[in-house]
A and B are shown apart, each in its own frame.
Chain A
Amino acid sequence: MSQIPLSHILFVSTALFFIGMYGFFTRRNMITMLMSVELILNSVNINFVAFNKYLFPQKMEGLFFTLFIITIAAAEAAVAIAIIINLYRSHRSVDIEDADEMKY
């Protein structure tokens, strides 16, 4: 059984990154935008794991980094959802376009 080449995995992670990017740009719902950010983070995770496995199989740094990112993503989700709830309380909406007070 031959190994899947590295480029395939990179292709998947790139696709995931741009899907997240696209979602972040186009969705107006803040929850959906948060989900898109998770996608971007996970594409980075895939990159870390893949490079670790294919280029430096005897080392563990990439995997550790991935674990850190997952932890931080969880914390970030908690903070982001708290912000979204507060915004909802003051604006009665989770639409990002309604929160535009900080303009010229």
Chain B
Amino acid sequence: MFRGIATGSPSIRDSDPETYHRQPLSARDPGAVARRARIGCAMSQGSALLQLSGLKKSFPDPDGGRKLIIDIPEFSLAMGEQAALRGESGSGKTTFLNLISGILAPDSGSIRIDGSDMAGLGEHRRDRLRGSSIGYIFQTFNLLQGYSCLENVLLGMTFGARADRDQALALLARVGLSHRLNHFPRQLSSGQQQRVAVARALAKRPKLVLADEPTGNLDHKNAREALRLVRETCLETGAALLLVSHDPEVLGSFQNVRDFADLNLALKETAT
């Protein structure tokens, strides 16, 4: 997929990264439009990549009991689908993403990702499934400070598939950072750091990308740019995207926006 970028028209491929990103997707990668159409077709056929049912997660509370944080009876996301979850800070959105990614284990319920039940796997196999199928983009970028941009992206690939240096280079070029390969995160602006994080999440060609407030720490211009990058690269790779945010502008750019408060019964119980 990324190699397709490199074989694009010379005028596009050879242009300055910043100029390159300002151009519409159809100009940069004509194949992407066709792929988008195919993905749309898949979505319409309803083949679920992510299927949750009866998901519950509680944490100990100071009184010695347990507080139910997540209670989601049903949720699904089709292959290539891009959906946004609206929710207030502290509503459990990150916990929800951590459950999907297998970082946390649920108290009950199932989380089927491309046929595998994340909830039913042991920790080691959850790590492997996360490494191979899920790309995670964080609000605070969570780049490894002691590693260069290129190493951060290569590490993102290592645990799921083979670390493909060419692919990492192509992705970093795609996000406009081919001139910052050996820079360390502290040497980059916030916007550039988030672009590295996007490249890292997508480098292993995940089936599902989880984005937790990916624009929360960025200024308006960088936020818009980062969001566009996430969405377009997901589109190009065919990855499904589940983004959580409370930013109206971010949510406004999605057709498929779900309210986390409607989804999570635990929040309704708290409200009542």
Instruction: Please indicate whether A and B come from the same complex rather than being unrelated chains.
Output: no
